[in-house]
Amino acid sequence: MKPTLKYIELKSGFGDSGPAWIGHVEFSKSGRTVYFNGKAFKNMNAMGVDGGNHYDIETRDEYWISGIKKNGTDRHWAGGGKIMIDRNVVGQYLEMVHFTTLDKNRFELVYVMPTDKQKFIAIENRKI
């Protein structure tokens, strides 16, 4: 699968105001694991205790991962805080939401780290 632009928000310990990002994610062959910013997230079929639909394979923290909303309102209506957006996807994001500029009060430009998929494949496939 080719990289896809997604909204990612940490739910564990934060409710609807956790740190949030917009950036390209990659998927495993099965599509059940999402790779982003040096992390791997496993799909939990929206069964999370903290409102997440994925969990971090290493920390077990819950995250909400979803597509980009066309109207630019990716945060939950009860949430708050700036959304960190990968500098490399700003143009694509603006095109998707039909904005001309990025609102500096709502977004913070960041660099997203690449993810070593082999590290997580080894974690998931280790023998117990």
Per-residue pLDDT of the chain (128 residues; tens, 9 = 90+): 689 999 999 999 998 999 999 999 999 988 899 999 999 999 997 666 777 899 999 999 999 999 999 999 999 888 999 999 999 999 999 999 999 999 999 999 999 999 998 898 888 887 77
CA torsion sign, 14 to 16 to 22 to 24?
A: positive
In angstroms, the CA 105 to CA 82 distance is 7
Boundaries of domain holding 119: 4-125
Nearest to 77 by CA among 4, 9, 17: 17
Q: Which residues does 48 contact at the CB level (< 8 Å), separation at least 6?
A: 11, 54, 55, 62
Report the pLDDT value the prediction gives residue 122, as an integer from 0 to 100.
Answer: 84
Residue 99, pLDDT score: 95
Q: How many domains does the chain have?
A: 1
**pLDDT at position 105:** 95
Q: What is the pLDDT of residue 115?
A: 94
Q: Compute CA distances 112 → 17, 22, 30, 41, whole Å.
A: 20, 9, 24, 16
Q: Which pLDDT belongs to residue 76?
A: 87
